[in-house]
A and B are shown apart, each in its own frame.
Chain A
Amino acid sequence: MSVNTEPKLSTARLVARLGLVVVAMFGFGYVMVPIYDVFCDITGLNGKTSDEVATAPVIVDTSRTVTVEFDATLNEYMQWEFAPEVHKVTVHPGELKTVNYRVRNRMDQDVNGQAVPSVAPGQAAEYLKKTECFCFTQQTLKAGEVRDMPVTFFIDPALPDDVHVVSLSYTFFDLAKLASHP
Chain B
Amino acid sequence: MMTMNPVQEDSVRKQRTRRMAIGLGVLAIAFYIGFILMSVFVYSNPTP
Answer whether A and B touch in the complex at a CB cut-off of 8 Å.
Answer: no
